[in-house]
Amino acid sequence: MSHVNNLESQHNDPAFANVWQELKWRGLVHVSTDETELEKLLAGDPITYYCGFDPTAPSLHLGNLVQLLVMRRLQLAGHKPLGLVGGSTGLIGDPRPTAERTLNTKDTVAEWVGYLQGQVRRFLSFDGDNPARMVNNLDWTAPLSAIDFLREIGKHFRVGTMLRKDAVASRLSSDEGISYTEFSYQILQGMDYLQLFRDYGCALQTGGSDQWGNLTSGTELIRKVEGKSVQALGTPLITNSDGTKFGKSEGNAIWLDPDMCSPYTFYQFWLNTADADVVDRLKVFTFLSRAEIEALGQSVEERPFAREGQKKLAFEVTSLVHGVDATEKVIAASAALFGNGDLTVLDERTLEAATAELPSATISADGLGIIDLLVASGLSDSKSAARRTVGEGGAYVNNTKVSDPDAIIGQDELLHGRYLLLRRGKKNLATIEVSA
């Protein structure tokens, strides 16, 4: 994945006294170790901070994007980020509320570490006075023997405290229970913070509030072993105002990898944001200023039909993740589907993504009469209905009106040599794939 987002154009909003105030306004602070101390720390000299990402899939998702943007905002304020991809914690798996994770092979985890490192790199700057650095916890975990791990790290953890952590407590009361493997995860994450404190003077760990037990296992370990106080910040879990789960579209996770979630699907996800959620999403997922977001909020309130907030949100976040070029292609595809653009300029991948949800049919190259096409696609339920549609001027192939009911579509009209986009009236669409 190429480095597509323009880091140079990003900046924090100078209207705020410091980055902590901006994080608070954006709704990014749910829980923290010491709010007064954190504000002082972040308003002062540059500190080193980290956030960890576990390779439990070959791509990061929208929940991870929240963390990446918090990291970037802190970097823009002059602080020094460490992006940790968990080569060792990814082998264990963070306890989920319901059941044990399936353990992936070492080769799979190593491969996914590479993918995730590439994604993290795209959201941070590795140049300038406070460049980001990538770290992998396998580097300090792998050389450690089980005896050394238990003697040097394990002895500082109290089982009573570990049992009270939310993720562990909920599993203990479930039918599944919890294995010692997943129970030990919080010790490994605590050890990461200790190691980064020793190696880099790391003084802050960020993460989702559902990770709070793991975040504080690190702050406690450093206090016990080093006698020093360090900080943790937990961001809220993003929720939709209507109670549905954020970050899923048609039940599928919204991934940052374009092969797992096309830029078109990604853009549409943001475009479909409910009016009640737009302002919150703009605060969390864009670098727009408070003034810009408040103006968009006013537009959503006064002219919801214009969907200005949703359009701006979709453009900003898709550009951030997939680049401006890909985003402009997606917008062109959306327009072209409904007759407001040239379908022939869309590349095959964008066309396929844009039409993925439409009714479709496959027919042979000798069945390209307009009447047969309308029936095969399901846009007309009989040949007589299809003739009526053509006669009334409501039949389109690739956005061109077809007025002759006996018209045969030529091979040269196929998009990318095999697709046709059919439309009945203004809004009823279907695709035809022509088999060789």
CB burial class (10 A; 0-12, 13-18, 19+) of residue 275? middle
Give dist(CA 72, CA 132) in Å, integer: 10
Q: Which CATH number fits domain 7-235: 3.40.50.300, 3.40.50.620, 3.40.50.1100, 3.90.1150.10?
A: 3.40.50.620
CB burial class (10 A; 0-12, 13-18, 19+) of residue 433? middle
Fold classified for 360-435: 3.10.290
State yes or no: pLDDT of 216 exceeds 60.
yes
Q: Which CATH number fits domain 248-344: 1.10.275.10, 1.20.1260.10, 1.10.260.40, 1.10.240.10?
A: 1.10.240.10
User: How many helices (H) does the chain have, and how many strands (E)?
Assistant: 20, 13
Tell me the pLDDT tens digit for each residue of 359-383: 999 988 876 899 999 999 999 999 9
Name the average pLDDT for the chain. 93
Give dist(CA 185, CA 99) in Å, integer: 15
Is-contact 257 114, C-beta < 8 A?
Answer: no
What is the mean predicted confidence (pLDDT) over 195-203?
Answer: 98
Domain with CATH 3.40.50.620 in the chain: 7-235
pLDDT band with cut points at 50, 70 and 90 for residue 3:
very low
pLDDT of residue 94: 83
Give dist(CA 156, CA 2) in Å, integer: 43
What is the mean predicted confidence (pLDDT) over 210-228?
Answer: 95
Residues β-bridged to residue 135: 84
pLDDT of residue 356: 86
3-state secondary structure of 435: strand
Q: Angle, to 10 degrees, between the axis of helix 275-285 and the axis of helix 290-302?
A: 170
State yes or no: pLDDT of 354 exceeds 80.
yes
What is the mean predicted confidence (pLDDT) over 123-139?
Answer: 97
Long-range contacts of 99-102 (CB under 8 A, 24+ apart): 99/174, 99/176, 100/176, 100/178, 100/179, 100/182, 101/56, 101/182
CA atoms within 13 A on the CB side of 387: 4
Tell me the pLDDT tens digit for each residue of 294-334: 999 999 999 999 999 999 999 999 999 999 999 999 999 88
Domain with CATH 1.10.240.10 in the chain: 248-344
Structure tokens at 145: 């023997």
Tell me the pLDDT tens digit for each residue of 56-110: 999 999 999 999 999 999 999 999 999 999 999 999 988 887 888 889 999 999 9
State yes or no: pLDDT of 346 exceeds 70.
yes
